[in-house]
Structure 1
Amino acid sequence: MYFTHQFLLYVHVAIGAIALIVFWLPLITRKGSANHKRIGKWYVASMYFVAGTGLVMSSLDMIAPIAIRYPDGYNGDKPIADIIERIRFTALFLWMLSLLVINNVRHSELVIKHKNNPSALRTPTYLLLVLSLLVTSLIVGFIGLQSGRILLQVFAGISLLSAIGALRYMFNKSKNSWLVEHIGAILGSGIGVYTAFFAFGGRALFAHLFSGQAQMIPWLLPSIIGVPCIIWLSNKYRPKTTTTIRTKTMVS
């Protein structure tokens, strides 16, 4: 089990590093072009792999925390129950981020595939994915409130809003917001993968720059940048309502 976890970790990090770069390429290519679609498929494939391995690794951490993290046995001073609790909390957080990425990537695919039929997203498989993210975000948010951990509260909130947004779209009769949904979902997956990078892989890189409460800055930075971008782009590409179009026509 330990060696499986380590192997997945190395591949996860390698593909994740590539995904961090590939994420930006569709954003700088013309939407709808052959390059945009091709690079988008690369990004989606890498995200499925990164998030999928994240789910497996976090599951192993929750099932056998000591065997995975301390293969030679734990000999520390802290109570082993506290160590197990910390490992499982971290694994649950990673589980939620992985679900967030998978949900957003899948949502971005489905809204493009079913542009004029949001109800087509209401398949048992996709509903299960979205509801899993919703339930996990509530659990993580509850733990965050109980423990006073701001990071858990923030990302649980982001994950909860993502799940609610997906449910709202698939049960909405509007057929004109697929582009906004696609952009928001892709950027949301980017927030998830960059957060995972800063929270786990990048933590050692920035340890000498941030200490104390400032250690939260690298964790929150993707959301601080990404969420306003989602809001701005959503407003930019949101279909104009009939009332708005009529008002502009009358003014002109």
Structure 2
Amino acid sequence: MTIEQALSGFALPHALIGTVALATFWTAAMAKKGSPLHKAVGRIYLLAMIGVVLTAVPLTLAFTLQGQWVGAAFLGYLIVLVSHACRMAWLAVRYKRDFARYTGIGFRISAAVLAATGTAVVVLGVVHNAWLLIIFGLLGPLGGLDARALIRKGPSGPKWWLKEHYGAMIGNGVATHIAFMQIGLMRLFPELGSTVIQHLAWFGPLAVGIGAGFWLDRRYIRPRATPPRPAT
């Protein structure tokens, strides 16, 4: 057995753990926010995502040894992106009353690494004329700019941690669904591999995630003002 074959053996555990992540994501999303079910399933989801990241590392090495440099670079970038989002989702709740600790040195290093790797993927996309790499690579530097703005401006209100938490969870959800649709479904059903289906697999979850972010902001961060009652 070659090293590449040994590393590729992590594909099945990666897929199984990813299935758990997919199921628990929707369970937590549908559960009442802040309920015991939401908290318990959310922990399982984050632990599953850690498993996804750990099993993705040898897969990235396998891509590298096989000479698939573009695939290895993009998968490595996804590892950084998901790791950063998992860290934000977990610590936003843990340090919701300690903004300074949340945005400490670990947060700054993680955001800087995300911005650097995303920029590298954008350059890779420009070199290979791959718009998918360019668009998703931009999430890295944009995330770095958001982190810088958060540190500079400080908490926007008492629910700053909630926005950070569900924003990170939406990012993880987008990554989970892209991986499932682009990698899992395409391997199970190769006949789906048309250009239109592939673009839907990439941009569909991203569009839904952006819409969910606006909806949650409207509901929890910027609720509609209640019209004043007429004077009696």
Question: Same fold, TM exceeding 0.5?
Answer: yes
Are 1:181 and 2:183 matched, yes or no? no
Gaps of 5+ in 1: 66-83
Aligned to 2:200: 217
2:124 & 2:39 partners in 1: Cα distance? 40
SS at match of 2:21: helix
Moved more, 161-170 or 6-15: 161-170
1:106 & 1:112 partners in 2: Cα distance? 10
Equivalent of residue 117 in structure 2, options 136, 148, 162:
136
SS at match of 2:191: coil
Gaps of 5+ in 2: none
Aligned to 2:44: 42
Shift in Å, 1:91: 1.1
1:171 & 1:160 partners in 2: Cα distance? 16
Aligned to 2:218: 235
Aligned to 1:25: 27
Aligned to 1:77: none
Shift in Å, 1:236: 2.1
1:161 & 1:206 partners in 2: Cα distance? 34
SS at match of 2:190: coil
Identity of aligned residues (%): 26
Aligned to 1:200: 183
1:251 & 1:160 partners in 2: Cα distance? 49
Shift in Å, 1:123: 3.5
Aligned to 2:173: 190
SS at match of 1:115: coil
SS at match of 2:10: helix
2:12 partner letter: Y
Structure 1 residues 128 and 51: alpha-carbon distance in aligned structure 2, compared to 1, 3 A threshold: same
Aligned to 1:92: 73
Moved more, 10-19 or 167-176: 167-176
Structure 1 residues 218 and 93: alpha-carbon distance in aligned structure 2, compared to 1, 3 A threshold: same
Moved more, 215-224 or 99-108: 215-224
1:32 & 1:25 partners in 2: Cα distance? 13
Check conservation: 1:187, 1:226, Cα contact below 8 A: yes
Equivalent of residue 87 in structure 2, options 86, 91, 106:
106
Aligned to 1:153: 134
Moved more, 217-226 or 53-62: 53-62
2:99 & 2:112 partners in 1: Cα distance? 17
1:123 & 1:53 partners in 2: Cα distance? 28
Shift in Å, 1:29: 1.2
Check conservation: 2:115, 2:140, Cα contact below 8 A: yes
Are 1:12 and 2:14 matched, yes or no? yes
Shift in Å, 1:19: 0.9
Structure 1 residues 210 and 6: alpha-carbon distance in aligned structure 2, compared to 1, 3 A threshold: closer
1:24 partner letter: W
Structure 1 residues 26 and 144: alpha-carbon distance in aligned structure 2, compared to 1, 3 A threshold: same
The number of residue pairs the alignment matches comes to: 227
Moved more, 7-16 or 214-223: 214-223
1:170 & 1:116 partners in 2: Cα distance? 15
Quote the RMSD (CA, aligned, Å).
2.4
1:4 & 1:127 partners in 2: Cα distance? 35
Shift in Å, 1:146: 2.5
2:62 & 2:8 partners in 1: Cα distance? 11
